[in-house]
Structure 1
Amino acid sequence: MFLTFIINSILVSIAVLIHYEALKILSEVIPKLKVEHRLRVLFGFFGALLAHIIEIWMFAFAYYFKIRSGYFGTLIGNSENSLMDCSYYSFTNYTSLGIGDIEPTGDLRFLTGLEALTGLLLIAWTASFMYLEMQKLWKDK
């Protein structure tokens, strides 16, 4: 249980740091782009989307390696526990879509809850960031 807590804490911390750095870079690069304000907004959107995808894949690899270890539980349901199954599960979990066709067992349940909460907060952070960036860009128009 202690090992699960440590690993999960590290994963959440890395996801937050990735997101922080991505938004920091975007906030520095977007104003410097010599293109229309609409294209700057799109650049910000796709940059933030890329950060989310990286974070989701990080959680997918964590599920995959935790399952392969045999110590942390598994995913049951319509799943072979392949890397693609883990990434599908991670995408649905991070976005809180929660289709329910795959269910975690064992200590993976804790990572599932943390990923959903982290995804919710990081998506909200992105929405707030994009709103502020769009406000700045529309004022510059």
Structure 2
Amino acid sequence: MLLATALNVLVVMTVVLIHYEALIRLSGFLARTRPRHRVRLLVTVLGVLVAHAVEVWVFALVYYGMHRADGWGHFQGNFDGSLMDSVYFSFTTFTTLGFGDIEPLGTVRFLTGIEGLTGLVLITWSASYLFVEMQRHWAFRYGASDTGADS
């Protein structure tokens, strides 16, 4: 149980660090290049999506390894043990969509719970970041009175 907790903490720390670095680097890139506002929003959305995809893959690689190793549990249902099934499971868990066609059994269940919570927090963080970027765009392009800031 201690090893599973340590693994969970390590994975969560890794994806949070990835997310933080992605947003910091994205902000720096946008500040240096100063793209047009529409391009800025497009780059921001795509950058955030790439960050989330990388984070999902981190969890998927851990699931894949846990499934193949003894003592960590396994998956049942529509799961053939492939890396792509691990990625699919990770995407549905990270987004809290959870189709339910793959069920984790054993110690691996703890990571699935923490992935759902982590995904929720990171997606919310991204939504906040995107909101601030869009607010900057609207305030610049339309003026503060049109954004609702004065009302």
What residue is the counterpart of 1:57 in the other structure? 57
- The answer to whether residue 81 in structure 2 is matched with residue 81 in structure 1 is yes
Q: Match for residue 41 of structure 1?
A: 41
Q: Taking structure 1 as reference, are residues 20 and 52 closer, same or farther at Cα in structure 2, changes over 3 Å only?
A: same
- Distance in 1, Cα, partners of 2:34 & 2:25: 16
Shift of 1:64: 0.3
Q: CA RMSD in A?
A: 1.0
Give SS of 2:80's match. Answer: coil
Letter in 2 for 1:9: V
Under a length normalisation based on structure 2, what TM-score does the superposition of the two structures give? 0.90
Cα distance in structure 1, aligned partners of 2:3 and 2:32: 44
- TM-score computed with the length of structure 1 as normaliser: 0.96
**Deviation for aligned residue 1:133:** 1.2
Shift of 1:72: 0.5
Equivalent residue runs for 1:1-141 within 5 Å: 1-141=1-141
TM-aligned CA deviation for residue 27 of structure 1: 1.6
Partner SS, residue 99 of structure 1? coil
Larger Rg: 2
Given that 1:33 and 1:40 are in contact with CA atoms closer than 8 Å, whether structure 2 keeps it comes out as no
User: Structure 1 residue runs of 4+, over 3 Å off?
Assistant: none
- Stretches of structure 1 that go unaligned for 5 or more consecutive residues are none
Identity of aligned residues (%): 48
Cα distance in structure 2, aligned partners of 1:35 and 1:122? 25
Instruction: Summarize deviations over 1:2-31 as a string: whole Å, max 9, x none.
Output: 100001100000010000010111122223
Most deviating of 102-111 and 28-37: 28-37
Matched length = 141
TM-superposed CA distance for 1:70, in Å, is 1.8
Quick one: which amino acid aligns to residue 64 of structure 1?
Y
Shift of 1:138: 2.5
Indicate conservation of the 8 Å contact 1:60/1:86, yes or no: yes
SS in structure 2 at match of 1:79: coil
Q: Which has the higher contact order (CA 8 A, sep 6+)?
A: 1
Q: Is the 8 A contact 1:64 1:82 kept in 2?
A: yes
Report the Cα distance in structure 2 between the residues aligned to 1:29 and 1:80, rounded to whole angstroms: 40
